[in-house]
């Protein structure tokens, strides 16, 4: 399962730690949301999102100092520093309330401060945790960016996927991941990237491991891309029913709940696969713009048939 801790947030954003031992910094953050505790400070605790990171902004700090006495503060802070809460972040450079610091030190609870505005902190934390905690899935295949489109190329081992992608790279397209593609769902977007250990490298049978960036330049690789389209390679044996015209019902595959158009392309000796894949991606871009070449061709054929029928009836 994806995991994040208070230490990850401190390292990412450089917050100043007020309280919390190294052990406290390992408290898990399991939700990509934050909690600005208005009702909790007012003494209303039911239905509180206890697993969210607590953010104390200017409004909360003003209410604490101006409206809450010591008894109310102790009651609220005892609740907000509970075992399920990951931590507390105080924004706008405000000082940590003495009672909160006292309770947090006693419980070894992490409290941090930052000079950043509350809105920036909430947005940055949410975006970071959205990616850090995103559901993930590993796929065996190639991920390459072609004409700005993230294309997942799949197929059985030995189909020559790496060799095809290498030819695409030589044509100016970008490698994202070879052999292993790590997929993450962030909101309703499917993001693909390589595992850091093999990022930028490719394995070719008979050659070994090659460094794509050093061989073809820094623009030959991309760190990640949105996966928008899948191409599945298969052996051409004369029995499989591949699209000939393109008016057939489109096929889709599902990854982490997101539907991707999936085009099956047969592989055989002598076929210029890189050119065919470029053409397939270009056709996909046209389909997204509402331009369907196969439908236009079908309509042209139907018009010609209707015209010939009229001519034949006229001769009769």
- Which are the catalytic amino acids? 140, 161, 179, 244
Cβ neighbors of 247 (< 8 A, separation 6 or more) are 294, 295, 298
Cβ neighbors of 84 (< 8 A, separation 6 or more) are 50, 51
* Alpha carbons 57 and 41: distance in angstroms, whole number: 12
* Alpha carbons 12 and 33: distance in angstroms, whole number: 17
* Alpha carbons 117 and 187: distance in angstroms, whole number: 25
State both tokens at 189. Answer: 């977007």
| H or E element in which residue 253 lies | strand 252-255
Yes or no: say if 96 and 122 are a contact pair by the CB < 8 Å rule: no
* Alpha carbons 272 and 162: distance in angstroms, whole number: 14
């Amino acid at each position: 399962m994806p995991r994040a801790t208070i230490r990850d947030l401190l390292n990412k954003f450089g917050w100043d730690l007020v309280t919390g031992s190294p052990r406290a910094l390992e408290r898990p953050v399991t939700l990509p949301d934050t909690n600005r505790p208005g009702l909790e400070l007012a003494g209303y605790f039911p239905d509180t999102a206890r697993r969210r990171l607590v953010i104390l902004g200017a409004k909360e700090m003003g209410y604490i100092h101006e409206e809450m006495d010591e008894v109310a503060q102790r009651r609220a802070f005892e609740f907000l520093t509970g075992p399920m809460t990951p931590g507390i972040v105080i924004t706008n450079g405000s000082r940590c309330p003495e009672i909160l610091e006292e309770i947090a030190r006693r419980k070894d609870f992490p409290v941090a401060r930052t000079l950043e505005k509350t809105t920036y902190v909430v947005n940055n934390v949410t975006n970071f945790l959205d990616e850090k905690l995103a559901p993930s899935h590993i796929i065996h295949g190639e991920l390459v960016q072609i004409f700005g489109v993230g294309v997942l190329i799949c197929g059985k081992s030995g189909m020559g996927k790496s060799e095809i992608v290498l030819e695409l790279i030589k044509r100016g397209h970008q490698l994202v991941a070879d052999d292993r593609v790590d997929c993450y769902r962030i909101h309703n977007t499917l993001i693909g990237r390589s595992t850091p250990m093999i990022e930028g490298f490719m394995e070719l049978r008979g050659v070994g491991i090659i460094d794509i960036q050093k061989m073809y330049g820094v623009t030959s690789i991309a760190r990640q891309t949105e996966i928008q389209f899948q191409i599945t390679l298969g052996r051409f044996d004369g029995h499989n029913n591949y699209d000939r015209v393109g008016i057939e019902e489109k096929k889709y595959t599902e990854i982490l709940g997101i539907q991707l158009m999936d085009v099956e392309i047969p592989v055989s000796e002598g076929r210029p696969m890189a050119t065919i894949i470029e053409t397939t991606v270009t056709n996909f871009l046209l389909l997204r713009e509402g331009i369907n070449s196969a439908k236009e061709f079908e309509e042209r054929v139907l018009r010609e048939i209707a015209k010939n029928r009229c001519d034949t009836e006229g001769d009769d």
